[in-house]
Amino acid sequence: MSLTDFSQLNIGDTVVETEIELSRASLVDYAGASGDHNPIHWSERFATEVGLDGVIAHGMLSMAVVVAPIVEWLGDPGAIVDYRTRFSAPVLVPDAESGTPATPTAVLSLTATIGAIDGAVGTARIDVTVKSGEKDVLSRTQIRVTR
């Protein structure tokens, strides 16, 4: 859907609901692209030595995979004018017990709803909840879009 007609949107409408799988391979790919090779994102030993429960996803990777389905729904990445979130819990990405490093071991559940519409200005606020299991991993996530 393109947001050219805000009259089709209502506050509270769910516009995207999906699950996003992450694997250790996702973390390696992101590390290569971003240059963030911090061992908390690939070494179980190091991650636990510094007090984490295990290897965690990069925060910016979490933000990126969450906004991607919103961009797909919008049909235009340029329609996003603001994106903000609070990292409320790490996204643990356990090692695959069997299979390959590309076997998904973490799932982010995403629900995006219309939180506000300003027809005069031509913007809408999308409120997003992101959970890993029962934990909110991103909170206060809001994406402001324009038509």
CATH assignment of the domain containing 109? 3.10.129.10
Q: Kindly state whether residue 19 falls inside one of the protein's structural domains.
A: yes
Radius of gyration of the chain (CA): 17
Tokens 């340029």 correspond to what residue?
78
pTM of the predicted protein model: 0.90
Could you tell me how many helices (H) and strands (E) the chain has, helices first?
3, 5
Instruction: State the alpha helices, DSSP H only, in 21-103.
Output: 24-34, 44-49, 59-74
Q: Kindly state whether residue 48 falls inside one of the protein's structural domains.
A: no
Q: Kindly state whether residue 70 falls inside one of the protein's structural domains.
A: yes
Q: For residue 100, give Cα distances in angstroms to 56, 97, 145.
A: 18, 9, 38
What is the enclosing helix (H) or strand (E) of 85?
A: strand 80-87
Q: Kindly state whether residue 35 falls inside one of the protein's structural domains.
A: no
Q: Kindly state whether residue 29 falls inside one of the protein's structural domains.
A: no
Q: Kindly state whether residue 49 falls inside one of the protein's structural domains.
A: no
Cβ partners under 8 Å of residue 113, min gap 6: 12, 13, 14, 15, 126, 127, 128
pLDDT tens string 37-53: 999 999 999 999 999 99
The CA-to-CA distance between both ends of the chain, in Å, stands at 11
Domain count, the chain: 1
pLDDT of 100 = 85
pLDDT tens string 74-120: 999 999 999 999 999 999 999 988 778 889 999 999 999 999 999 88
Q: Kindly state whether residue 37 falls inside one of the protein's structural domains.
A: no
Q: Kindly state whether residue 109 falls inside one of the protein's structural domains.
A: yes
Residue span of the structural domain in which 113 resides:
6-23+62-146
